[in-house]
Amino acid sequence: MMTRIAVAGCTGYAGGEILRLLLGRDDIEVGALTAKSSAGSRLGEHQQHLTPLHDRVVLDTTAENLAGHDVVFLALPHGASAEVAAQLGDDVLVIDAGADFRLESAEEWQRFYGTEHAGTWPYGLPELPGQRDVLAGTKRIAVPGCFPTTVTLALAPALQAGLVDGDDVVVVAPTGPSGAGKSLKAHLLGSELMGSASAYGVGGVHRHVPEMLQNFRKLGASAPTVSFTPVLVPMSRGILATVTAPLAGPTTAEAVRAAYAAAWADEPFVHLLPEGLWPQTQSVVGSNHVHVQVAVDAAANRLVAVAALDNLTKGTAGGAVQSMNLALGLSETLGLTTLGVAP
Q: Domain with 49 in it: what CATH number?
A: 3.40.50.720
| Residues 158 and 80 placed together within one structural domain of the fold | no
Q: What are 184-239's pLDDT values in tens digits? A: 777 888 888 889 999 999 999 999 999 999 999 999 999 999 999 999 999 999 99
For residue 68, what pLDDT band results from cuts at 50, 70 and 90? Answer: very high
User: Both 163 and 304 in a single domain?
Assistant: yes
Mean pLDDT of 22-40: 96
Write the DSSP symbol of residue 282. Answer: G
Spatial distance between the Cα atoms of 199 and 182, rounded to a whole number of angstroms: 20
Spatial distance between the Cα atoms of 311 and 55, rounded to a whole number of angstroms: 28
**Is residue 208 domain-resident?**
yes
Predicted pLDDT at 256? 98
User: Can 10 be counted among the known catalytic residues?
Assistant: no
- Helix, strand, or coil here: 315? helix
* Residue 40 backbone class (left: φ over 0; alpha: ψ -120 to 50; beta: rest): left
Does residue 334 form part of some domain?
A: no
CA distance 53 to 23: 9
Domain that holds residue 11: 3-143+315-328
Give the pLDDT of residue 278: 98
Are 48 and 71 in the same domain? yes
In sequence order, what are the residues at sequence separation of 6 or more whose Cβ sits closer than 8 angstroms to the Cβ of residue 118?
A: 81, 82, 85, 100, 101
Residues 18 and 111 in one domain: yes
Is 1's pLDDT higher than 90?
no
The answer as to whether 76 is a domain residue is yes
Separation in Å, CA 278 to CA 240, 242, 283, 290? 10, 11, 11, 12
Give the pLDDT band of residue 180 (cuts 50, 70, 90). confident
Does residue 115 share a domain with residue 43? Answer: yes
Quick check: helix, strand or coil at residue 43?
helix
pLDDT band at 71; cut points 50, 70, 90 = very high
For the cut 90, the answer to whether the pLDDT of residue 156 exceeds it is yes
Say if residue 157 is in the same domain as residue 96.
no
The verdict on 71 and 174 lying in the same domain is no
Residues 58, 73, single domain; the answer is yes
| Catalytic residue (choose from 32, 50, 76, 146) | 146
Residues 85-123 have pLDDT tens digits of 999 999 999 999 999 999 999 999 999 999 999 999 999
Let me know: does 243 contact 169? Beta carbons within 8 Å. Answer: yes
* pLDDT at residue number 191: 81
- Is 333 among the domain residues? no
Predicted confidence (pLDDT) at residue 5 exceeds the cutoff of 90: yes
Q: Is 335 contained in some domain?
A: no
